[in-house]
Amino acid sequence: MIESTPLNGRMTRWQILLSEFDIVHVNKKAIKGSAIVDFLAKRALEDYEPFNFNFPNEDLMYVVTTEEDSQEGNASNAVGNGIGAALVSPNRDHYPFTSKLDFDYTNNMVEYEACTIGIREVIERKIKVLEVYGDSALVIYQLKGKWETRDLKLINYRRLVLELIEEFDDITFCYLPRDENQMADALATLASMVKVNK
């Protein structure tokens, strides 16, 4: 009949009404957690390797995957807000990494932060040819020079990225719609779950 679960008044009334029709209400499961599990399961490593890989100096695609602050309902919890990015090699191997933000920021500052940490990771691996895919039209088109950067907070971020890209022989910025950037939620959620000691 009625299970002994803590239900609020409305849910209890509905459960009583639906019980005569053998209809059972099932709470929706969290999708973000399963996305992380699926992503990590598909890319399980056979043998342990240190994370700092030395890639050959070949073309490497870099996918910027980010999440904004909790106002957008994205990767945020009591521990903090996370961003993530992934290096994608020409043979489609994914090397994800995440970071946490512990300062006040806007959504666009978060997008620039993710782009900056991603580009720094690529520079560390001494890669000279790079494609940057981002799901923020504002950041991508500002870095391409097609849109002006008017926000004072973003001007310094843009200047920093432009200084960093001088390290590359060839770099292109491509806009990737959020719908096609499925790794974003998983990486940012993972980053927001980690507690950082200060």
Report if residue 47 sits inside a domain.
no
Report if residue 148 sits inside a domain.
yes
CATH number at residue 87: 3.30.420.10
Structural domains in the chain (count): 1
Task: Look at 81-95, 98-112, 126-140, 184-198 and tell me which has the smallest mean pLDDT.
Answer: 184-198
Kindly calculate the radius of gyration of the chain based on its CA atoms and give it in whole angstroms. 21
pTM for the whole structure = 0.57
Report if residue 113 sits inside a domain.
yes
Q: How confident is the model at residue 160 (pLDDT cuts 50, 70, 90)?
A: very high
Please enumerate in sequence order all residues whose Cβ is within 8 A of that of 196, keeping only pairs 6 or more positions apart, or say none.
Answer: 79, 80, 100, 102
Find the domain containing 157 and state its range: 32-41+55-193
Higher per-residue pLDDT: 177 or 155: 155
